[in-house]
Every structure is written in structure tokens, then in C-alpha cells.
Amino acid sequence: QMWEEAIALGKELAEQYENEMFDYEQLSELLRKQAQFYENIVKVIRPKPDYFAVGYYGQGFPTFIRNKVFIYRGKEYERREDFEARLLTQFPNAEKMKTTSPPSDDIKNSSGQYIQCFTVKPKLDLPSKFHRPVSEQIVSFYRVNEVQRFEYSRPVRKGEKNPDNEFANMWIERTVYVTAYKLPGILRWFEVKSVFMVEISPLENAIETMQLTNDKINNMVQQHLNDPNLPINPLSMLLNGIVDPAVMGGFTNYEKAFFTEKYIHEHPEDHDKIEKLKDLIAWQIPFLAEGIRIHGEKVTEALRPFHERMEACFRQLKDKVEKQYGVRAVLSSLDDRRGSRPRSMVRSFTMPSSSRPLSVASVSSISSDSTPSRPGSDGFVLEPLLPKKMHSRSQDKLDKDDLDKDKKEKKKEKRNSKHQEIFDKEFKSTDISLQQSEAVILSETISPLRPQRPKSQVINVISSERRFSVSPSPPSSQVTPPPITPRTKLSFSIQSNLELNGMSSSDIPDVPPPLPLKGSMADYGNLMESQDLISPTTSPPAHQRVSP
């Protein structure tokens, strides 16, 4: 679950895939993984392992660990007792030391084996890129990872013991351990290279404690704002322990110990630290107010009396602090943080419809009258039908080659029903004469019905006098030309209001008649104007005739 390390390695791989290998498929897969890692960092709660300091004292240990201290990284949710039991199985003859203070020389020089084990706290060392406050979910990784400094604090009492207030003379003896490498590394433990000790005064300890408390409240508030489904019990315990003075005493003990005239007179050098402590106490009120507001929204009816008591205690505490230390107000950063994610998520779905491109079907369906919906939409309907059919026969043959393909026929069948209304309205609004219109439509109708001719016969067809006339002729009372055989896949919905060669669409027979005799080899398009022309004198040679 060290996704931060995986992202760093992924960026190195992405540079190779993009600029060296040009393997965009691997690059896209890698970037998808990185996106998932970033999402996990924000949303997934990772367990925080504990760190333990282990000292091996006595001449009975091997030389590489004798009289040395190591920092171990424990497993997930591993307690110190479990870690000690696991450690002592490796050295069954070793004796566990009872104290955490450094051992004497007698123990170090003895022939036995003594193991000292206690929990240490890793010291946060944020990377330089975090130059501004960031979410706790991001920072929490660096609290237990990429750490090299560890602290152990031991309380020490100096001076007279005060039974009423134990904070007045409680000093902190803090030991800092620095390891050879950052943890975790290639190993789960590293040797301690340097150790030094510092003393923390009671006032400095109070400042640190108040700072940690405020950070804990603020972090828990952020977690509940980002994830409303979190359980409420940890928040209830934290708020009640601070608000209710009967539980922990709150900061009243600090007031009795450090805000008295006696302490200020005896320690004039601590004036700035006292003011800082007062400021931290004042800042705790807005953090508590936000936490109690969230608690009131999520509390169940069974815990409603508990919440009402906590609100009553908080009102008393707020009045007292604001009267003594002033009023502090938190900016609307919490509200902005709570609302920033939904706004970024819906931004891509709120594009105006005018900025999205319209498909051909959208353009044709928007047009409800003869006025085009946008420039060029009228050309979309008329240009393919009217002017292009006045070209030469060779151009007409090229059009037939395109229309003969099966895929384009299927597409045309789907478009016919949508274009029919637009075609009718556009066609009626034109000033083209009926004679010319019929010729154009006949050319459009006949073109997809004929099979492709061989190139050798295109010139003969053009010069032949027996080809079917495109222009309408007066109807003959004796002979009528045979009807044109339609293809079953082709639809005539475009010409539903027009007449084809003097016949309405309703007159076209449902069952097609048989094909006429061929005039020449592979020529099904040379239709005779009269049946009298088909005679033995005009029939082609015997070697060219085949049965229909």
C-alpha cells in the first residue's frame, strides 16, 4: 500500500514509454494505474505501524548486534507485547529488561544477554514539495514512512511535588534516535547511528500537547467532511474528553500552573510562550464548534441526550474562553474543501450544448421548415440530388459503382425515412420544372437498378439507339415499355410523392416480371422500346445468345 513510492517509479517508466520506446499502449495502462493510486491515497485508510527500539546488551550476543540499538518497523496492528514475543523466540536465553533508561556498563560487559524493547514515535519529515498546508490524508503517509528520526519521551519530575497540579513540575526527557537509512527500506530494521537527549520544560510540554490536540480535532473534522460514512464513535470520545471537564480536566490545569501571577513573576522569560499557549487555547474553540456541528448532524436518537450534554458543556467553555482569551474564527476553508470535489466532478457534464458538435442526423432533425438550421444544411439535401445528375454518363457510372456496394445500400435505407420529409419540402420549394425534375429523378432511380457494365460496352451503350430514353415520351396506345425490375433491398420512400415515367408508386407491381432477352453479352440495361424490334432478323449471333 505504499502508493506514493509506486507513483514515483511509474513516472520513471512513463518517461521511457513516452519518449524512448513510444509504447503508448503500455503508457496508457501505466497512467490508469497511477490514477488509481492517487485515488487510493485520498480515499483508502491505511493502518499505521508502530516502531520499536531494540537494544542488545551483553557479551553473549553476536558481534554485529552486540551493545547496539536498532529501530524495527512492526507489522500492521502489531502490539509491543506481540513484537517482544516474536523477538525473544530468536534468543530464548535472553532476559528482557524492565526499564527504558540506558543500561550501565556492568550489563554491557556481562556475559549474559539482555534485550531492551520500547515503542518510539517517528518524527515527521515532510518533503520540500509540500510548501503549503495539505490534507491530512496525504500527510499521514509521511508520519510513518520515509522517516529517519525517532523520539522517546520519558517524564521526569523536578522540584517539589504538587499534589493539586502535576503539570507544574513535570519535565520531559526526550531521546532522539537517528537511523542509518530511512524506514522502511530494503529491511524492516536499521541500526541507530546517533543518539542525543533534550529536556522539555513543563510549559513547552503544555504547548506541544495543546498543538497536538488541536491538530487531532482538525484532522478528524476533515475526515468526516471528506467521508460522511465514517463512524461517529471516535469523534464522540475525542470531543467529550476535551469539552467535559469531569473527564480530563481540559486546559484548566495549565491555567492553574502557568497563568498565575507567581509563575509569571518567577519566569519572566516565558512570557512569549505563555501568550502562545493562550492563543492555542483560543483556537481550540472554533475547531470544537465544527466538530460538535458534525456530531449533531450524524448523532443517532439513542445518543441525543449525550450530544445535548456535550453542547451545554461547550457553550460554557466557549463563553469562558472568548471572554478571557479573545475570539478566533476559522475561515471558510472547510466549506470550500467540502464543496470542491463535487464541483470538479460535475464540471465535465455541464458543457453548453452549443459547444458540442452536431451529427448529420441532428442537423436534419432540427430543421422543421424550409429554412436551414445552420449554413450549409440546404446543400446537404439538394447538392447530391439535383446538380450532379446533369453530368456525363461516365460520371453517372461512377455513382453507380459507389451505390452498388452492399454497406452503402444499408446506410441509404436507414437514411431514407429520415430524409424523406426534408427532401419533399426542399424539392417543392425549388423552381425547377417538372419535366427536368422527372428526368433527374429517373436518372437517380435507374442508376442503382442496373448491374455494372463492362468497360468495353460503355461506348456502345451510349451510341446505341435502342437504349431506354431518359426523357419522358408520349404514352403509346399499342406498346408500353416493360416495367423496371426493382431490387428488394432498395426503398422508394424518397420519391413517394413523385411519378416515375408516368406511373405512380402504387402502380408498380409487387411481383417483378421476368427479365427481357439480352441485347448483347452481359448487358441487362439495353431495354427495347418496342417488342416488335425483337425478331430473328435483329437477334444477335448464335454464339452470343444464352437462355435467360
Name the DSSP class of 68.
Answer: E
Question: Helix, strand or coil for residue 486?
Answer: coil
CA–CA gap between residue 238 and residue 452 (Å, rounded) = 87
CA–CA gap between residue 7 and residue 31 (Å, rounded) = 9
Give the Cβ contact number of residue 288 at 10 Å: 22
Contacts of 169 (CB under 8 A, 6+ apart): 157, 158, 159, 160, 161, 162, 202
8 A C-beta contact, residue 447 and residue 403: yes
C-alpha cell at 499: 411519378
pTM value? 0.57
Element (H, E) at 274: helix 271-298
C-alpha cell at 306: 449525550
8 A C-beta contact, residue 77 and residue 70: no
Name the DSSP class of 376.
Answer: T
CA–CA gap between residue 296 and residue 309 (Å, rounded) = 12
Cis peptide preceding 127, ω within 30 of 0: no
Q: Which of 108, 101, 117 is nearest to 61 (CA)?
A: 108
Chain centre distance of CA 222: 21
Q: Sort strands 147-157 and 170-183 into parallel, antiparallel or unpaired.
A: antiparallel
- DSSP per residue over 9-32, as a string? HHHHHHHHIIIII--HHHHHHHHH
Q: How long a stretch of residues is the chain? A: 548
SS3 annotation, 160-212:
CCCCCCCCCCEEEEEEEEEEEEEECCCCCEEEEEEEEEEEECHHHHHHHHHHH
Cα 455 to Cα 131, 358, 406, distances in angstroms = 78, 41, 21
Chain centre distance of CA 525: 62
Q: How far apart are the first and last CA of the chain?
A: 79
Give the Cβ contact number of residue 390 at 10 Å: 12
Chain centre distance of CA 414: 38
CA–CA gap between residue 315 and residue 313 (Å, rounded) = 6
Chain centre distance of CA 101: 51
Instruction: Give residue for cell 518510539.
Output: 120
Q: What is the pLDDT at residue 127?
A: 87
406 phi and psi, to 5 degrees? -70, -35
CA–CA gap between residue 395 and residue 469 (Å, rounded) = 18
C-alpha cell at 283: 483556537
Burial label, 310 (beta-carbon count in 10 A; 0-12, 13-18, 19+): buried
Q: Which of 75, 154, 88 is nearest to 117 (CA)?
A: 88
8 A C-beta contact, residue 494 and residue 420: yes
CA–CA gap between residue 143 and residue 121 (Å, rounded) = 9
CA–CA gap between residue 53 and residue 83 (Å, rounded) = 11
Q: What is the pLDDT at residue 521?
A: 54
Q: Sort strands 114-122 and 95-96 into parallel, antiparallel or unpaired.
A: parallel
Q: Which of 41, 31, 36, 40 is nearest to 10 (CA)?
A: 31
Residue type present at position 372: P
Beta bridge partners of 192: 179
pLDDT tens, N- to C-terminus, the chain (548 residues): 999 999 999 999 999 999 999 999 999 999 999 999 999 998 888 999 999 999 999 999 999 999 999 999 999 899 999 999 999 999 999 999 999 988 999 999 999 999 999 999 999 988 888 888 888 889 999 999 999 999 999 988 887 777 667 777 889 999 999 999 999 999 999 999 999 999 999 999 999 999 999 999 988 898 888 888 888 899 999 998 888 766 555 678 888 888 888 888 888 898 899 999 999 999 999 999 999 999 999 988 998 999 999 999 999 889 988 888 888 876 644 444 444 443 333 333 333 333 444 443 333 334 444 444 444 444 444 444 444 444 444 444 444 455 455 555 565 555 555 555 554 555 444 444 444 444 444 444 444 455 566 555 545 544 544 444 444 444 444 445 555 554 544 444 444 444 444 454 445 545 677 776 665 555 444 444 444 444 444 444 444 445 55
